[in-house]
Chain A
């Protein structure tokens, strides 16, 4: 079984451009989470989605950031008008259901803003 797949692994954007990060969860998992990690720091929660629904976006910046998890296809984290401070590693995790259980992580997308 494939794990969580994220692409691209590395993404370079210039300031003002848009960044789209994709995440395909583990097959059969309907719960997706996005986290952000700065160098030498822990992961910070951004958003939790189930199919077609945003359940918790308390960690998401109010502007420029959006996320979706459509009925078909991968989850997308979208960052509009990127700024240098958006440079980070963005990780996606998935789980088969809600509740206390491990979240399975992908290997992340490293976003660099020029």
Chain B
């Protein structure tokens, strides 16, 4: 399944399928990006980060892709599990300070 983040804030996938969550960021000067996972009633949990000198970074079952030309970030989750159900936020650091700018978020629901 695939989402366009801001325009389709919910995504439902079957357990075992791959998920793709997209994010359009706003500041071309941003040089550091993080994907966070937020479960209900909890704070954001770090998943993976990427710096602007890279276009791809892989973690355990997750991959982040960065396209600076179109200011687009995506999170791919392989073999999605029920425990992956959460809201996913991309966050950018525009290098003007230490604050992060968060996207609206995409709610991922995994169907067993």
How many Cβ-Cβ contacts under 8 Å join chain A to chain B? 62
Whether A55 sits at the interface, judged by CB under 8 Å, is yes
Q: How many residues of A contact B (CB 8 A)?
A: 29
CB distance from B39 to the nearest CB of A (A): 10
Given that A91-B43, A108-B43 are known contacts, is A103 also in contact with B100, CB under 8 Å in the complex? yes
Chain B count of residues within 8 A CB distance of the other chain: 26
Q: Which of A6-57 contact B (CB under 8 A)?
A: 6, 31, 33, 35, 40-45, 48, 55-56
Q: Are A100 and B99 in contact (CB under 8 A)?
A: no
Bound: A99/B49 CA distance, A: 13
Contacts A43-B100, A45-B101, A106-B43 supplied; 13 other A-B pairs, CB < 8 Å: A31-B98, A33-B98, A33-B99, A42-B89, A42-B104, A48-B97, A48-B98, A56-B99, A100-B32, A102-B34, A103-B34, A104-B46, A105-B43
* Partner-A contacts on B (CB < 8 A): 9, 31-32, 34, 36, 41-46, 49, 51, 89, 91, 93, 95, 97-105
